[in-house]
């Protein structure tokens, strides 16, 4: 069993994501809940926010956990079992399921069984649920549940996937607070890049991209020039701020805006991946042209007065 933990800001965006009201074909099924209505995303979010209001200064009150099981466990991990596992998971994190709002929703859009657990970080007494070291604690809790329920150990079916939710090599080697902070920032950059690879090519605007990233625990901040054009974009996850260009040149504000324009041009019946691939090709061609120009300049400096190599002549 693998658990991926995110701490988000918006209950509205999260509830819309887990209930999948606009895409019922994905088979979102509420398995269990406590303290919230489950008939609609609007009602669920309103119930979460009502309790959250007791701690208005808590920016990220949404605890979102995706628990995934090996496909081999599909028959064993029924909806009833998933509901019990979710409550045991909360107890393992020292979260009282009787004094905290939460909801468990199963999605059917993958071959392997998995669920989404949404938890309010403000409990029913108005106390804040700690998220300190929650990712490392989650790994230990998942291992304990595997043993308690006789589940296949995650490492046996996917070591690479298991490592994604465990410490990175840089985090394991870090011995000082500065090294740990650097390692955590690098991990956030990788996760942001992974999320953008799935979402950026489908968005038509920064607003759409922001909404697509929020359920993944990523916020987007945009600055604009006086003429309204995008000047810079910053992504934030778990308190780590990463510039778009630090994730990759294709995720700078300018390149993202170019990608949005191409998606809008293609209209509703387009292939988003094709549009984003074209942006990457345009960037690669521009980079190649720049390298050719630099090569010509270096050659001119090395051989003054001589005819330049035909390798860079126009028409070759």
What confidence tens digit (pLDDT) does each residue in 26-56 have?
789 999 999 999 999 999 999 999 999 999 9
User: Looking at residues 242-257, what average pLDDT do you find?
Assistant: 91
**CATH code reported for the domain at 2-166:** 3.30.930.30
Q: Is the pLDDT of residue 222 over 90?
A: yes
Q: State the Cα–Cα distance between residues 78 and 66, nearest whole angstrom.
A: 16
Q: State the Cα–Cα distance between residues 212 and 85, nearest whole angstrom.
A: 28
Bridge partners of residue 235, in order along the sequence: 220, 242
Q: State the Cα–Cα distance between residues 111 and 165, nearest whole angstrom.
A: 20
Q: What is the pTM of this model?
A: 0.53
Tell me phi and psi for residue 126, to 5 degrees.
Answer: 85, 10
Bridge partners of residue 63, in order along the sequence: 7, 119
What local confidence, expressed as pLDDT, does residue 212 receive?
85
Q: State the Cα–Cα distance between residues 250 and 291, nearest whole angstrom.
A: 18
pLDDT band at residue 160 using 50, 70 and 90 as cut-offs: very low
pLDDT band at residue 207 using 50, 70 and 90 as cut-offs: very high
What local confidence, expressed as pLDDT, does residue 55 receive?
95
What local confidence, expressed as pLDDT, does residue 67 receive?
93
| DSSP symbol at 38 | -
Rounded alpha-carbon distances, angstroms, from residue 134 to 69, 119, 160: 20, 13, 21
What does DSSP say about strands 114-120 and 29-34: parallel, antiparallel, or unpaired? Answer: unpaired
Sorted by where each begins, the domain ranges of the chain are: 2-166, 192-266, 272-312
What local confidence, expressed as pLDDT, does residue 62 receive?
96
Name which residue leads in pLDDT, 274 or 236: 236
């Amino acid at each position: 069993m693998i658990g991926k933990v995110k701490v988000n800001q918006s209950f509205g965006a999260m509830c819309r994501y887990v209930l999948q009201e606009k895409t019922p074909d994905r088979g979102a099924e509420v398995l269990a809940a406590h303290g919230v209505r489950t008939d609609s995303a609007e009602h669920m979010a309103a119930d979460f926010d009502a309790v959250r209001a007791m701690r208005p200064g808590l920016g990220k009150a949404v605890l979102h956990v995706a628990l995934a099981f090996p496909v081999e466990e599909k028959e064993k991990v029924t909806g009833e079992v998933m509901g019990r596992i979710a409550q045991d998971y909360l107890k393992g994190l020292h979260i009282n399921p009787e004094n905290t709002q939460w909801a468990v929703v199963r999605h059917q859009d993958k071959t392997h069984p998995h669920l989404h657990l949404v938890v309010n970080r403000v409990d029913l007494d108005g106390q804040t649920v700690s998220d300190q070291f929650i990712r490392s604690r989650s790994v230990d809790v998942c291992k304990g549940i595997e043993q308690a329920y006789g589940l296949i150990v995650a490492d046996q079916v996917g070591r690479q996937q298991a490592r994604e939710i465990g410490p990175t090599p840089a985090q394991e080697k870090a011995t000082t607070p500065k090294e740990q902070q650097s390692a955590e920032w690098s991990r956030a950059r990788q996760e942001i890049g992974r999320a953008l690879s799935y979402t950026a090519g489908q968005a038509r605007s920064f607003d759409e991209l922001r909404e697509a990233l929020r359920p993944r625990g990523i916020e987007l901040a945009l600055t604009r020039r006086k003429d309204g054009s995008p000047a810079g974009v910053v992504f934030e996850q778990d308190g780590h701020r990463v510039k778009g260009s630090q994730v990759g040149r294709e995720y700078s504000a300018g390149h993202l805006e170019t990608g949005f324009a191409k998606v809008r041009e293609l209209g509703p019946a387009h292939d988003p991946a094709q549009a984003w691939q074209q942006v990457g090709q345009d960037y690669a061609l521009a980079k190649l042209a720049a390298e050719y120009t630099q090569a010509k300049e270096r050659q001119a400096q090395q051989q003054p007065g001589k005819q330049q190599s035909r390798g860079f002549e126009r028409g070759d």
